[in-house]
């Protein structure tokens, strides 16, 4: 089997695209789709083991993946990594700023170290990578940047550190779109809602009941697939989105549209798009046949 993208196979032929956090979840899916569409894909992550595993999958599918280990929170390391990528691969045409992470906790239980760690990962790291890609390549050649944020409209109770960081990334997206537009650089973001991804298995056991009930708060009454996020990322990177910049697209089944006082009846005619041939249902959802 191969990736069943909705786009033509040669969409990104001759294009070099970086995906941070490419070793798991949405990043892994995006790496697969971009490779299937002809891109020269470069994955960045902290875990070499995860990157090597995805590279092996890509090779089995008949494509290639280059990868580099880098902690995006460290400015000097980011500069060095992007410099190496440009030297070895040339012009960078696209960047998917996907790397991120957080832990569940109410605001009163988050100390300064925990707050700053999450902000560094989800905001500062994305800024550092985007800045270096722009400075070292896109400022001269143009390109497209897609930042991955989150459905934080209306607050993120239980993850206030992540919500604040993601909101900051949305504003960074808007600012960069203005400042870098004259260089032919488009900067957009996507805000996934609840996605059936491997990240769900990283949360503690006491959150299982909450995770399995999430779909009840979505008007479409289901969770997103990784492919439904990757396809929007791919579109924003493509020439078909050449006049879209500074925008954030919500991929949340309308869950963020303020429907808390409106009853959500059982949904009909809502089918998931399963383009990712290597997608794995999170263990926390398998028992519930989600």
- Whether residue 236 lies inside any domain: the answer is yes
- Whether residue 267 lies inside any domain: the answer is no
Q: Which CATH number covers residue 180?
A: 3.40.50.720
Could you list the residue range(s) of the whole structural domain that residue 96 is in? 16-195+225-253
Q: What is the pLDDT of residue 259?
A: 63
Per-residue DSSP letters for 81-111?
HHHHHHHHH----EEEE-------B-GGG--
> Mind listing the pLDDT tens digit for each residue in 130-171?
999 999 999 999 999 999 999 999 899 999 999 999 999 999
Please, what is the average pLDDT of the chain?
92
172 pLDDT above the threshold of 60: yes
| Percent of the residues in the chain that have a pLDDT greater than 70, as a whole number | 97
288 pLDDT above the threshold of 70: no
| Orientation angle between helical segments 125-133 and 160-180, nearest 10 degrees | 20
Full-prediction pTM beyond 0.75? yes
Q: What is the pLDDT of residue 196?
A: 87
- Whether residue 20 lies inside any domain: the answer is yes
- Average pLDDT for residues 210-233, to the nearest whole number? 90
- Whether residue 269 lies inside any domain: the answer is no
Structure tokens at 123: 């905001």
- Whether residue 115 lies inside any domain: the answer is yes
Per-residue DSSP letters for 262-287?
S--PPP-S-------TT----HHHHT
- Whether residue 168 lies inside any domain: the answer is yes
> Mind listing the pLDDT tens digit for each residue in 94-103?
999 999 988 8
Q: What is the pLDDT of residue 124?
A: 97
Task: Round to whole Å and give the CA distance between 68 and 73.
Answer: 15
CA 180, distance to chain mean position in Å, is: 21
Structure tokens at 82: 């992007």
Task: Round to whole Å and give the CA distance between 265 and 247.
Answer: 31
Q: What is the pLDDT of residue 210?
A: 78
- Whether residue 99 lies inside any domain: the answer is yes
- pLDDT range class, residue 290, cuts 50, 70, 90: very low
- Average pLDDT for residues 26-51, to the nearest whole number? 96
Q: How many domains does the chain have?
A: 1
- Whether residue 45 lies inside any domain: the answer is yes
Which helix (DSSP H) or strand (DSSP E) does residue 223 occupy? none
């Amino acid at each position: 089997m191969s990736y069943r993208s909705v786009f033509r196979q040669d969409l990104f032929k001759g294009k070099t695209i970086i995906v941070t956090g490419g070793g798991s979840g949405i990043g892994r899916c995006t790496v697969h789709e971009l490779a299937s569409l002809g891109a020269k894909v470069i994955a960045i992550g902290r875990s070499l083991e995860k990157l090597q595993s995805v590279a092996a999958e890509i090779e089995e599918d008949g494509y290639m993946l280059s990868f580099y280990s880098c902690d995006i929170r460290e400015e000097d390391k980011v500069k060095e990594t992007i410099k190496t990528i440009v030297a070895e691969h040339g012009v960078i045409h696209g960047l998917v700023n996907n790397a991120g992470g957080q832990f569940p906790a109410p605001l009163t239980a988050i100390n300064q170290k925990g707050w700053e760690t999450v902000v560094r990962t989800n905001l500062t790291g994305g800024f550092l990578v985007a800045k270096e890609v722009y400075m070292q390549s896109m400022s001269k050649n143009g390109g497209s940047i897609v930042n991955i944020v989150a459905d934080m409209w209306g607050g993120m109770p239980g993850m206030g550190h992540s919500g604040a960081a993601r909101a900051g990334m949305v504003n960074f997206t808007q600012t960069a779109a203005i400042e870098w537009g004259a260089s032919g650089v488009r900067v957009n973001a996507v805000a996934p809602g609840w996605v059936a991804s491997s990240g769900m298995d990283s949360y503690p056991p006491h959150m299982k009941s909450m995770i399995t009930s999430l779909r009840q708060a979505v008007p479409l009454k289901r969770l997103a697939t990784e492919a439904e996020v990757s396809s929007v990322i791919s579109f924003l990177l493509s020439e078909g989105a050449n006049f879209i910049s500074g925008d954030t697209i919500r991929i949340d089944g309308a869950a963020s549209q303020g429907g808390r006082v409106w009853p959500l009846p059982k949904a009909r005619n809502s089918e998931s798009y399963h383009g990712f041939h290597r997608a794995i249902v999170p263990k926390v959802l398998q028992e519930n046949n989600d």
